[in-house]
Amino acid sequence: MTSVAIGSESQQRCASCGSVYADTDPSAKCNSCGGLLEVVHPAPALRGAELRAVFASRRAGGSVNTSGVWRYHELVLPNAGDTIVSHPEGNTPLLSRDRVSAWAGIANLLLKHEGHNPTGSFKDRGMTVGVTQARRIGARAVACASTGNTSASLAAYAAQAGIPALVFVPAGQVALGKLTQSLAYGARTLLVKGDFDVCLSLVQQASDRLGIYLLNSINPFRIEGQKTIALEALEQLGWDAPDWLVLPAGNLGNTAAFGKALREALDLGLITRVPRIAAIQADGASPFAQSFRDGFATRPKVKADTVATAIKIGDPASFDRAVQTIRFTNGVVTSVSDTEILDAKAVVDAAGVGCEPASAASVAGVKRLVTEGTIRATDRVVAVLTGHLLKDPGALLRYHQELSPPPQFANPPIEIEASIEAVERVLSGQNLTGYWLLVLVTGYPSPRDAMSLPRVSVTNNQFQ
Ligand code: F0G
């Protein structure tokens, strides 16, 4: 199958049987075989260095083109015209933090922080395109199932576009920050008595029956927007591809998007080398990692269970297209325990960066793959932090305040009388918690020799 559209309009093509649909066809899946659709665009007029220069020039343009999504509109949705619904989004930082690098065991680790998007997650990149497409086709309402971030993003962009939004989320399993966003932005929010996989099946039935435009990541226009995470990271690195791009994996839309972005970037001469993708799941929600271990011979479904509720998914919708990503990039899939996720999160948080639990799976995955020797200590690695720290305050409070015994990096608050003596007592160490003792003794809450950071000591109750 060619990767460009014939003619001057983008097209939708079935990834399974090759059927072609207009770019304005609202079908959620292929009408012939039920396969997932993908969007192909006309070949851009420019390639390679010239196209790279156009992308760079738009950064300062002041129009919608400064968006970290629409800057790449030739590869996203070239004919969106004046229908674009943009906050704007993207232009997220690539961060380097010695403490996180030292913990993960790799010097050259960069964190692509997608929590800096308008609603605090990478979903805004897909949703600006999805809701733009909804407007292009005149959708009267939009819907999604979600573990919380997609619904927050859909709610915000639908509100901006003035289109009613309906979201299906698993009751009792959505982080507080996310649920409150969907309410605040005005989406009709259905708390479904079931898990995410049940919600996804229900929203597909509802959108079929009620004619509501479906904006889960099975929608190929969402994928077009999410490609820009990889494109922007490559651009930030001067189009000199890193050895690895590492991301958390749940429903696998993002893994699929990264593969498509890299394939197109290579075809268009934007890059000359393809980074390997590492997709990281939680042990309790790891059907893709299990399948990888048997060479993708099977497609297991699991009853998902993990503290990282964003990726608590047992039957990922974009499974097949994510397999293509892993094959194309010579990638790997692995899973990490909830303890590894929460410890990675505590390290990312305590470095002043912060992320939600699912995002920390990527950093935990880097550490795991370095330990196993899959990622070499000299490799250049970009790990994607998919969501903001404030998305899941409940997980934070449990980790720092409620768990017994306290986890490795717990930093519980200390309640005191309102007196200077009480403050002094705390600082003199009588009430020092495990975390602070560790900070003060080691300079950082992780093995001293791994950190090469200045040591902090306490002498006569003074910090030095
Ligand atoms: N990280 C975060 C913070 C997420 O919210 C999600 C997915 C992922 C990683 C995984 O991405 O599904 O493309 O493999 N959240 C979806 C949601 C399922 O409904 O917000 P994926």
Q: What is the pLDDT along the chain (464 residues), one digit of tens a residue?
A: 446 776 788 999 999 999 999 999 999 999 999 999 999 999 999 999 999 999 999 988 778 999 999 999 999 999 998 999 999 999 999 999 999 999 999 999 999 999 999 999 999 999 999 999 999 999 999 999 999 999 999 999 999 999 999 999 999 999 999 999 999 999 999 999 999 999 999 999 999 999 999 999 999 999 999 999 999 999 999 999 999 999 999 999 999 999 999 999 999 999 999 999 999 999 999 999 999 999 999 999 999 999 999 999 999 999 999 999 999 999 999 999 999 999 999 999 999 999 999 999 999 999 999 999 999 999 999 999 999 999 999 999 999 999 999 998 999 999 999 999 999 999 887 555 555 555 554 445 443 333 333 333 333 333 22
Ligand 1 within 6 A of 253 CB?
yes
pLDDT of residue 451: 35
Which residue has the least CA distance to atom 15 on ligand 1? Answer: 310
pLDDT of residue 449: 38
CA–centroid distance, 387 to ligand 1, in Å, is: 9
Ligand 1 within 6 A of 311 CB?
yes
In the chain, count of helices (H) and strands (E)? 16, 15
E strands within 43-155? 94-95, 109-113, 142-145
pLDDT of residue 432: 55
Max Cα–Cα distance, the chain, nearest Å: 77
For residue 226, give the ligand 1 atom closest to its CA. 13
DSSP label of 15 = T
**Mutation test of ligand 1: which of 92, 217, 251 has the most ligand atoms closer than 8 Å to its C-beta?**
251
Ligand 1 within 6 A of 325 CB?
no
pLDDT of residue 375: 98
pLDDT of residue 3: 65
Rounded distance, CA 183 to CA 306, Å?
24
- Give the burial class of 425: count Cβ atoms within 10 A of its Cβ; 0-12 exposed, 13-18 middle, 19 or more buried: middle
**Mutation test of ligand 1: which of 114, 127, 149 has the most ligand atoms closer than 8 Å to its C-beta?**
149
Domains of the chain by start residue, with CATH? 1-43 (no CATH), 94-120+221-394 (3.40.50.1100), 414-463 (no CATH)
Ligand 1 within 6 A of 217 CB?
yes
**Mutation test of ligand 1: which of 112, 147, 281, 318 has the most ligand atoms closer than 8 Å to its C-beta?**
147
pLDDT of residue 456: 31
The alpha-carbon radius of gyration of the chain (Å, integer) is 23
Ligand 1 within 6 A of 386 CB?
yes
What global pTM score does this model have?
A: 0.93
Tell me the H-state helices in 185-308. Answer: 196-210, 220-236, 253-267, 287-293
CA–centroid distance, 149 to ligand 1, in Å, is: 7
Cβ(43)–Cβ(33) below 8 Å: no
Do you find a cis peptide bond into 42, omega within 30 degrees of 0? no
pLDDT of residue 62: 77
pLDDT of residue 459: 31
CA–centroid distance, 413 to ligand 1, in Å, is: 30
CA–centroid distance, 126 to ligand 1, in Å, is: 11
Cβ(148)–Cβ(159) below 8 Å: no
Cβ(106)–Cβ(379) below 8 Å: yes
**Mutation test of ligand 1: which of 214, 222, 254, 309 has the most ligand atoms closer than 8 Å to its C-beta?**
254
pLDDT of residue 436: 57
